[in-house]
């Protein structure tokens, strides 16, 4: 089935195709562009460590880091390495694993059809042996150690460790050297058959391409997948944080911090909606035009590295403020005090309107880049939305909605601070 998804306000549209194989195709041709970007994503990430497909069976539990390990192994098939094939077409290929998704992607200026065929073929053709798994364990073990030496990575995952008591979001996406040692070829095949079922996946394409060509190649390469219902298991997570403060010494020139507020999660669609509204609140609170930003900057408590973000997934949500600071504890205290002030006094209407326009503008600019569009279509799809819904949520946000999010999500009693301080 082919469905046109149209935005009346933008006067643009794209196609959603329910392919007979079970794969959803999101096709966004862009007139006047010379390049194309394609991304194939499974609704499976690092937090999905316990699952079952039979409601009467026990849950299968897999080692931390399996999703990331599987991402690495998918590029290797019996007939060679996918990267070598992309080198022949001139496409730039990559992949990444997040907390709740794994994506395989390429960008190209020509040979699009050949590159798309490579993508569909290698993602649907797993090849694992005990020997190749053992080799990859050594490679990823070195990668884990490299991330352990990355202060930006450590300030984030130390923060998540402080915020979450049971949730696997606090575990490094790549797992640990010990956890990946338990990964076997059989476990990879079992996990692949569950989460790489085409009904659990989406292909998003944007830029210069022919939608008909995408459908034709999908018809040629893909075979119908069995219908599968995946049930995921997560331990109940308390609202309280695991610890208020965590600190690690590191060979850095300046102290770094991450201040996180633990948000009560809802369903994926509500999480995504609230996350966009919280982007506006973050802009009001700590954007570079806010009084707080100016005050912290003038006092030398932050610099140009300071940033805020909203993060959410199927069953988690968080607000994070981070950057370098000569006094991380004081910077965090100032941010929390400003939150309490806003909660007490309310959001200034003029500041809200200004920040709403700023956030809405970011979403509009997203439509100028094929990679941004493909990423946004994918995220919206797994949240039960379309890409134009994201623009509508930002553009039609009200002061009352922002005030509601401020009261519901910005609860300073559920904050944690992660500090990376220079070694003596």
* pLDDT at residue number 214: 98
Question: DSSP string of 198-210?
Answer: GGGEEEEEEES--
pLDDT in tens, 97-117: 999 999 999 999 999 999 999
CA distance 174 to 287: 32
Tokens for 214? 């995408």
Looking at the annotation, which residues are catalytic? 71
* pLDDT at residue number 352: 98
Question: DSSP string of 40-98?
Answer: EEES--TT--EEESSTTSPPEE--TTHHHHHHHHTTEETTEEHHHHHHHHT-EEEEEE-
* pLDDT at residue number 81: 87
Average pLDDT estimate for 36-49: 97
DSSP state of 326: S
Question: DSSP string of 207-227?
Answer: ES--HHHHHHHHHHH--PPPP
Is residue 59 scored above 90 in pLDDT? yes
Question: CB neighbours (10 Å) of residue 228?
Answer: 14
Smallest Cα–Cα separation from 116: which of 97, 91, 95? Answer: 91
Query: What is the sign, positive or negative, of the torsion defined by CA atoms of 319, 375, 64, 156?
Result: negative
Is residue 169 scored above 80 in pLDDT? yes
CA distance 348 to 200: 43
What is the largest distance, in Å, between two alpha-carbon atoms of the chain? 65
CA distance 49 to 413: 29
Average pLDDT estimate for 254-259: 97
Is residue 424 scored above 80 in pLDDT? no
* pLDDT at residue number 9: 83
pLDDT in tens, 296-328: 999 999 999 999 999 988 889 999 999 999 999
* pLDDT at residue number 28: 98
pTM: 0.94
* pLDDT at residue number 75: 93
Strand pairing report for 92-97 and 102-108: antiparallel
* pLDDT at residue number 63: 96
Is residue 271 scored above 90 in pLDDT? yes
Is residue 79 scored above 90 in pLDDT? no
Question: 245-422, superfamily in CATH?
Answer: Metalloenzyme, LuxS/M16 peptidase-like (3.30.830.10)
Average pLDDT estimate for 76-83: 85
Where are the domains positioned within the chain? 2-232, 245-422
- 234 φ, ψ (degrees, to nearest 5): -130, 140
CA angle 31, 33, 39 (to 5 degrees): 100
Average pLDDT estimate for 363-392: 96
Average pLDDT estimate for 278-291: 96
Burial bucket for residue 400 (CB in 10 Å: 0-12, 13-18, 19+)? exposed
Length of the chain: 424
Tokens for 54? 């039979």
Tokens for 68? 């990331």
What percent of the chain has pLDDT above 70?
A: 100
Is residue 188 scored above 90 in pLDDT? yes
CA distances from 335 to 136, 343, 375 (A): 43, 12, 31
- Average pLDDT over the chain reads 95
CA distance 207 to 107: 10
CA distance 122 to 395: 39
CA distance 100 to 86: 26
* pLDDT at residue number 94: 96
* pLDDT at residue number 388: 96
* pLDDT at residue number 393: 97
Strands (E), 270-368: 307-312, 317-324
pLDDT in tens, 326-345: 999 999 999 999 999 999 99
Average pLDDT estimate for 105-133: 96
3-class SS of residue 29: strand
Name 76's Cβ contacts closer than 8 Å, sequence gap at least 6.
82, 127, 132
* pLDDT at residue number 315: 86
Q: Produce one character per residue of 347-369: b if its CB has 16 or more CB atoms within 10 Å, e if not.
A: beeebbebbbebbbeebeebbeb
Distant-in-sequence contacts of 226-229, Cβ < 8 A, 24+ apart: 226/197, 227/22, 227/199, 228/53, 228/194, 228/197, 228/199, 228/200, 229/53
Write down the CATH number for the domain with range 2-232: 3.30.830.10
């Amino acid at each position: 089935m082919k469905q046109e998804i149209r935005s009346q306000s933008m006067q643009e549209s794209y196609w959603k195709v329910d392919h007979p194989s079970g794969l959803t195709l999101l096709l966004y041709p862009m007139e006047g562009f010379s390049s194309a970007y394609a991304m194939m994503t499974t609704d499976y990430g690092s937090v999905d460590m316990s699952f079952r497909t039979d409601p009467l069976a026990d849950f299968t539990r897999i080692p931390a880091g399996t999703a990331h390990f599987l991402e690495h192994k998918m590029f290797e098939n019996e007939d060679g390495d996918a990267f070598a094939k992309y080198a022949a077409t001139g496409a730039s290929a990559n992949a990444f694993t997040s907390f709740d998704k794994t994506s395989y992607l390429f960008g190209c200026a020509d040979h699009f059809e050949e590159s798309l065929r490579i993508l569909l073929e290698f993602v649907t053709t797993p090849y694992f042996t005990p020997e190749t798994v053992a080799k990859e364990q050594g490679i990823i073990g070195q990668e884990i150690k490299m991330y352990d030496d990355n202060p930006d990575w450590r300030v984030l995952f130390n923060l998540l460790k402080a915020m979450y008591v049971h949730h696997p979001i606090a575990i490094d996406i790549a797992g640990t050297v010990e956890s990946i040692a338990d990964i076997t070829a059989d476990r990879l095949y079992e996990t692949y058959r569950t989460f790489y079922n085409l009904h659990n996946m989406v292909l998003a394409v944007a830029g210069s391409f022919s939608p008909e060509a995408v459908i034709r190649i999908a018809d040629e390469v893909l075979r119908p997948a069995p219908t599968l219902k995946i049930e995921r298991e997560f331990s109940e997570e308390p609202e309280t944080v695991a610890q208020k403060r965590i600190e690690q010494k590191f060979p850095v020139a300046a102290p770094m911090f991450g201040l996180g507020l633990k948000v009560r999660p809802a369903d994926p669609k509500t999480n995504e909606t609230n996350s966009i509204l919280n982007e506006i609140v973050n802009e009001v609170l700590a954007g570079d035009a806010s009084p707080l930003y100016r005050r912290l900057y003038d006092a030398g408590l932050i610099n140009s590295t300071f940033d805020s973000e909203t993060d959410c997934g199927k069953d988690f949500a968080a607000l994070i403020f981070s950057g370098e600071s000569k006094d991380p504890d004081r910077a965090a205290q100032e941010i929390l005090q400003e939150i309490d002030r806003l909660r007490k006094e309310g959001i200034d209407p003029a500041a809200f309107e200004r920040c709403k326009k700023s956030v809405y503008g970011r979403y509009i600019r997203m439509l100028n880049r094929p990679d941004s569009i493909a990423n946004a279509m994918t995220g919206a799809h797994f949240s039960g939305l379309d890409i134009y819904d994201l623009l509508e949520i930002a553009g039609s946000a009200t002061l009352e909605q922002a005030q509601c999010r401020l009261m519901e999500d910005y609860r300073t009693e559920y904050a944690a601070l992660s500090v990376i301080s220079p070694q003596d």
